[in-house]
């Protein structure tokens, strides 16, 4: 029995969707447990606060083992401070798990809409109107997904940025560099693809009318 690539892609997208759905349920349960203070110590999440190091004069030495290459230096400029919320800050603990659930859930939603779109390809109906809004949803969710790292950085900076004092360093404020450029580009491509599908739908309807 010959398996078509489109059938394989459809099956993988379905499996991925169900796995992400299970993971979202697990993370949601962990968020509820964190909110009620029921998490064991080893399950308490840590926050990573980006730190910009400044004024450092000590560089790590590098020994050159090949004369064909000239080593420069290893300079440490950025680092991350791992912060463990105390048991009295259940809200922050729950926030971390909710963020993870949202992040995974976005991928799950993308896989769901893609699986439904691939289903129409399996039925040799690539241009139904519902595929247009499905691809628009994929593009919109991908754009949202690309901004989630910036959102988390903003929240962590807001809650923890002034909780610590550093020597020759400072908490890095959120910026556009936090956005995931690859996922953002994917979202824009999917929106453009949705427009192409819309044009294909119009042409398909016109052809059916002429026939």
User: What are the two backbone dihedrals, phi and then psi, of residue 32, each rounded to the nearest 5 degrees?
Assistant: -65, -40
Q: What is the pLDDT of residues 139-155, one digit of tens each?
A: 999 999 999 999 988 98
Find out whether 47 and 82 touch, Cβ atoms under 8 Å. yes
Q: Quick one: pLDDT at residue 140?
A: 96
Give the helix/strand (H/E) hosting 200.
helix 181-210
Contacts with 51 (C-beta within 8 Å, 6 or more apart), sequence order: 78, 79, 80, 81, 166, 169, 170, 171, 172
Find out whether 197 and 124 touch, Cβ atoms under 8 Å. no
Q: Mean pLDDT for each 10-residue chunk of the chain (211 residues)?
A: 74 95 95 84 80 64 72 67 74 86 96 91 76 92 95 86 77 88 94 86 63 51
Residue 153: closest CA among 137, 133, 173, 136: 173
Contacts with 63 (C-beta within 8 Å, 6 or more apart), sequence order: 71
Contacts with 147 (C-beta within 8 Å, 6 or more apart), sequence order: 179, 180, 184
| Cβ neighbour number for residue 44 with a 10 Å cutoff | 17
Q: Quick one: pLDDT at residue 1?
A: 43
Q: Quick one: pLDDT at residue 2?
A: 46
d(CA 27, CA 33): 10
Find out whether 20 and 104 touch, Cβ atoms under 8 Å. yes
Give the Cα-Cα-Cα angle 195, 209, 125 (nearest 5 degrees): 50
User: CB burial class (10 A; 0-12, 13-18, 19+) of residue 36?
Assistant: exposed
pTM score: 0.80
Q: Quick one: pLDDT at residue 80?
A: 82
Which of helix, strand or coil describes residue 80?
A: strand
């Amino acid at each position: 029995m010959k398996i078509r690539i489109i059938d394989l892609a459809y099956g993988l997208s379905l499996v991925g969707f169900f796995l992400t759905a299970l993971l979202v349920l697990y993370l949601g349960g962990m968020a509820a447990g964190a909110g009620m203070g029921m998490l064991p110590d080893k399950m308490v999440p840590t926050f990573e606060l980006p730190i910009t190091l400044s004024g450092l004069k000590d560089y790590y030495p590098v020994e050159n083992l090949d004369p064909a290459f000239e080593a420069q230096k290893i300079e440490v400029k950025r680092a991350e401070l791992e912060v463990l919320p105390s048991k009295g800050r259940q809200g922050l603990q729950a926030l971390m798990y909710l963020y993870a659930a949202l992040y995974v859930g976005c991928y799950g939603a993308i896989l769901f809409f893609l699986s439904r779109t691939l289903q129409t390809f399996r039925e040799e109906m690539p241009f139904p109107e519902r595929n247009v809004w499905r691809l628009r949803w994929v593009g919109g969710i991908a754009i949202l997904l690309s901004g989630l790292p910036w959102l988390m950085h903003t929240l962590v900076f807001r809650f923890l940025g002034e909780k610590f004092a550093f020597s020759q360093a400072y908490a890095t404020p959120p910026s556009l560099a936090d956005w995931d450029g690859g996922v953002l580009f994917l979202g824009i491509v999917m929106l453009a693809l949705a427009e192409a599908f819309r044009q294909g739908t119009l042409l398909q309807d016109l052809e059916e009318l002429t026939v």
